[in-house]
């Protein structure tokens, strides 16, 4: 089958991070500093990505600010004509570092926030970071870089949607991603502590809609659906191995940031193969391309052109088989496992659990 070029690269520079967020999508087995790609290796990856057709690079982690070569990588990306976005906790960002990133050519910086209330935000992050984030937002604006923000929504902060939006607006955000928790990595390990009730979700979504209508074009608001409560699965990254790719800190190349959780697949490394070969020829990238791999009911479903069978990582994590229909789908024979879980979380007598398994802990 013909393979189109990817348009975006998620460059995971490191898994190291000062925060310990219990919903982090990084794997439970975090890569150590010694395994990370070197500056020279990343420069080669960026050049190969540009030659492959990539037009955007998103530097992420962990915390990419922990890499002293970050400005070097940003500058190389801009010289290659790539749009550069930095995804950061903001911890460790100084006024001088923000100016340095701006001078290197970063196009936008996405800053995370955990809640609108400092005490709760720090509890969720497992680190006193909220005030540091506020300062970081100021440094980003002073450097003249567009500020985007994101918050992961869950049982502990859903009631604060309107306040979180107002906080991000006050900090100068032009765009805010309200991302309901997706259950991979540490979020899967903390699923019972994070999964909200249906009542919470309904109230939060209504708050989002009314606030969005009130604010108009002051800030772009993006609502990421909480798919455990959906009857139809979310699209699998626009199709497995179709639009984007991720390079992990150790050089493994993944179809998405969480694909490494599929232990039944072996992923090639840029240390042994060039990016173009991995994208076009590797077994892992071709495993779920197209539609021939699909079982029923996906293969005969018209929605296969929209959701591509749903999330392969989620199918694997919930059933042990990445080739099955995503259990979020109401037509999946495994939907019952999610129905039972969601029902248990909506028990009116169940108390809110707050004991997290913190990332890295």
Q: Is the peptide bond before 50 cis (omega within 30 degrees of 0)?
A: no
236 annotated as belonging to a binding site for a ligand:
no
N-terminal to C-terminal alpha carbon distance within the chain: 44
- Cα distance between residue 155 and residue 9, in whole Å: 31
- Cα distance between residue 57 and residue 10, in whole Å: 6
313 annotated as belonging to a binding site for a ligand:
no
Tell me if 27 sits within 8 A of 17, measured CB to CB.
Answer: no
What is the 8-class DSSP label of residue 64?
G
Write down how long the chain is: 361
Of 167, 127, 128, 121, nearest in space to 147 by CA: 167
Of 80, 12, 85, 6, nearest in space to 46 by CA: 80
17 annotated as belonging to a binding site for a ligand:
yes
Q: Which two tokens stand for residue 338?
A: 């999610």
How crowded is residue 7: how many other Cβ atoms within 10 Å of its Cβ? 15
- Cα distance between residue 39 and residue 16, in whole Å: 16
**Structure-token match 């997706």, residue found:** 182
Beta strands in the chain (DSSP E): 8-12, 56-60, 83-88, 108-112, 147-153, 175-180, 220-224, 244-247, 253-254
CA atoms within 13 A on the CB side of 306: 7
3-state secondary structure of 269: strand
CA atoms within 13 A on the CB side of 290: 7
Q: Which residues does the annotation place in the binding site?
A: 17, 21, 24
Q: Which residues does the annotation place in the binding site for [4Fe-4S] cluster?
A: 17, 21, 24
């Amino acid at each position: 089958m013909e393979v189109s070029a990817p348009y975006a690269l998620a460059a995971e520079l490191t898994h190291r991070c000062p925060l310990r967020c219990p919903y982090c999508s990084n794997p439970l087995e975090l890569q150590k500093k010694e395994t990370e790609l070197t500056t020279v290796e990343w420069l080669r990856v960026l050049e190969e990505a540009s030659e492959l057709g990539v037009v955007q690079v998103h530097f992420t982690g962990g915390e990419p600010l922990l890499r002293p070569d970050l400005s070097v990588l940003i500058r190389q990306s801009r010289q290659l004509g790539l749009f550069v976005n930095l995804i950061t906790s903001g911890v460790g960002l100084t006024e001088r570092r923000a100016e340095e990133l701006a001078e290197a050519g970063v196009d936008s910086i996405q800053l995370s926030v955990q809640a609108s209330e400092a005490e709760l935000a720090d509890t969720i992050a497992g680190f006193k970071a909220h005030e540091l984030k506020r300062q970081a937002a100021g440094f980003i604006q002073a450097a003249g870089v567009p500020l985007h923000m994101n918050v992961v929504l869950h049982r502990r902060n859903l009631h604060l949607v309107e306040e979180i939006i107002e906080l991000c607006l006050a900090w100068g955000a032009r765009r805010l991603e309200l991302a309901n928790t997706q259950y991979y990595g540490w979020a899967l390990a903390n699923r019972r502590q994070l999964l909200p009730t249906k009542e919470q979700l309904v109230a939060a979504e209504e708050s989002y809609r009314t606030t969005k209508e009130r604010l108009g074009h002051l800030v772009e608001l993006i609502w990421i659906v909480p798919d455990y409560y959906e009857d139809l699965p979310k699209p699998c990254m626009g199709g497995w191995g179709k639009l984007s790719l991720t390079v992990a800190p150790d050089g493994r190349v993944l179809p998405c940031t969480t694909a490494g959780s599929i232990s039944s697949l072996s992923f090639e490394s840029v240390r042994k193969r060039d990016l173009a070969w991995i994208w076009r020829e590797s077994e892992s990238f071709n495993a779920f391309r197209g539609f021939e791999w699909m079982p029923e009911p996906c293969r005969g479903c018209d929605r296969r052109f929209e959701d591509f069978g749903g999330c392969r990582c989620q199918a694997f994590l919930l059933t042990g088989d990445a080739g099955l229909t995503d259990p979020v789908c109401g037509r999946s024979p495994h939907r019952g496992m999610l129905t039972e879980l969601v029902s248990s979380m909506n028990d009116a007598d169940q108390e809110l659990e707050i004991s997290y398994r913190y990332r890295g802990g």
